[in-house]
Every structure is written in structure tokens, then in C-alpha cells.
Amino acid sequence: MPVKSLFGKIKENTTVVSEIVSGTVSGIIKDGTGKKNAASGKKSLNAIKTELTGLLKEKSKMFGVLGREAYDLYQDGNMNMTNLEGYFKKVAELDFNIEALSKEMEIVEKQNQIKRTCDCGKKLDKNDKFCPDCGAKIDDGTFICSCGNIQKNSEKFCNVCGKNIQDQLKIAAPTVESRSRICVCGAMISAEQDFCGECGRL
């Protein structure tokens, strides 16, 4: 069997196995051991991207191994597709996990684009913890750890870096009387000021 034809067959079989796996095991993510785990809870976008990058690298390595194994079989004159079946299954499993993570990433990206509004009417960005207009503290039950991961206020430790979230939350938020903000120029604007004393901006 010519090598070109062999790789076409490998790609075709990988697609078929991938479709079978994704069609029969929907809603589950397999870990590296092949055990099925319930779809994971909410992850940060960075955690998903990191995991996805790892899976793509693993898939690329697996294609290298598969190609080498196929070539060795070809050289030995033993081009039997059943000898490569384990590799096809591993690639199909990786494809399934990559597809699941890609969908999860789309959902998280859409959720991150949802605009919030302060009580004063100002539209807020997803990472705003204070209103840029009135300076009010925005509490949505989440906290951005110093590592950048979004955590629930109720959790004790960050699931990415392991830092104590409760210690980070103890940092005093400004009170209504002493509420101040930082201008884009870097100057501190007190609650009594309407304009920046350094650059004159609102």
C-alpha cells in the first residue's frame, strides 16, 4: 500500500472513530486515563486555553508516533490497520476532548462579553470591581485573584495558584465617605473631586 494512501486511510479512520466517540459519549470529558468524568465545572478562560494547548500538542505528538509506527509497519511489509487501532482511538479521544474544550471556551468567552451595569447607570466591563463613573464597589460574588483567575468569593483558595482568597478579600475596600479613584493619568481623585487635579479629566 503506498504511503500516501495509508495516511489518507489513517485520516479517514480517525474521523470515523471521532464521530462515533462524540456521538455516543456526549456531555462527558475523558481524562488521560480513559475514564469518563462528568463535564467539569466553570473554569477560567486562561485555564481552558492552557488545557486546550496541551491537548493540541499531545495530538501533534501522537500523529508523529502514528506516522512513525505506520512507516515501520510498511517497511516490515505488515501493513495491517488493526496494528494501528490503538493510536486511532487515542487520537479520537484527543479530538473529542479538544472539541469539548473548544465549546466550553466559546461559552466562557460569551459569558465574559456580557455587560454589567452599575446602580448609577454606567455600563461596566467584565473585570470592573469598582464603577469608573461613581466609584461604587461592584460585588457580583466573584473575585479576581492576583494570578488573574476568577474565583467565587465563597471559595477559600484559588484553584490555579493556590493563594488564600479570603486573605486577599480582607484588603479593605474604600468606604462611601472615603471613596476615591485613580485617573487614567495615574493621579488619585478623592470622592469630593469631580475632575482630576493633574490632567483635568472627569
Highest mean pLDDT among 94-98, 162-166, 177-181: 94-98
Query: If you average pLDDT over residues 184-191, what whole number do you get?
Result: 78
Check whether 178 has a pLDDT greater than 60.
no
Measured CA angle at 51 (ends 59, 125), to 5 deg? 140
Judged by average pLDDT, the poorest of 85-94, 116-125, 178-187 is 178-187
Of residues 45 and 179, more confidence is placed in: 45
Please report the pLDDT score of residue 134 as a whole number.
86
Cα separation of 72 and 89, whole Å?
Answer: 19
Please report the pLDDT score of residue 57 as a whole number.
92
Check whether 77 has a pLDDT greater than 70.
yes
Please report the pLDDT score of residue 93 as a whole number.
93
Residues of the chain above pLDDT 90, percent? 9
Query: If you average pLDDT over residues 171-176, what whole number do you get?
Result: 47
Distances (CA, A) of 102 to 42, 74, 106: 14, 35, 6
Check whether 40 has a pLDDT greater than 50.
no
Measured CA angle at 31 (ends 27, 33), to 5 deg? 135
Amino acid at 165: I
Which residues, in sequence order, are CB contacts of 196 under 8 Å at separation 6+?
183, 185, 187, 189, 202
Amino acid at 26: S
pLDDT band at 165; cut points 50, 70, 90: confident
Question: Domain residues of the chain, as ranges?
Answer: 3-112, 116-171, 177-202
pLDDT tens for each residue of 96-137: 999 998 988 888 877 766 556 777 888 877 677 788 888 887
pLDDT band at 144; cut points 50, 70, 90: confident
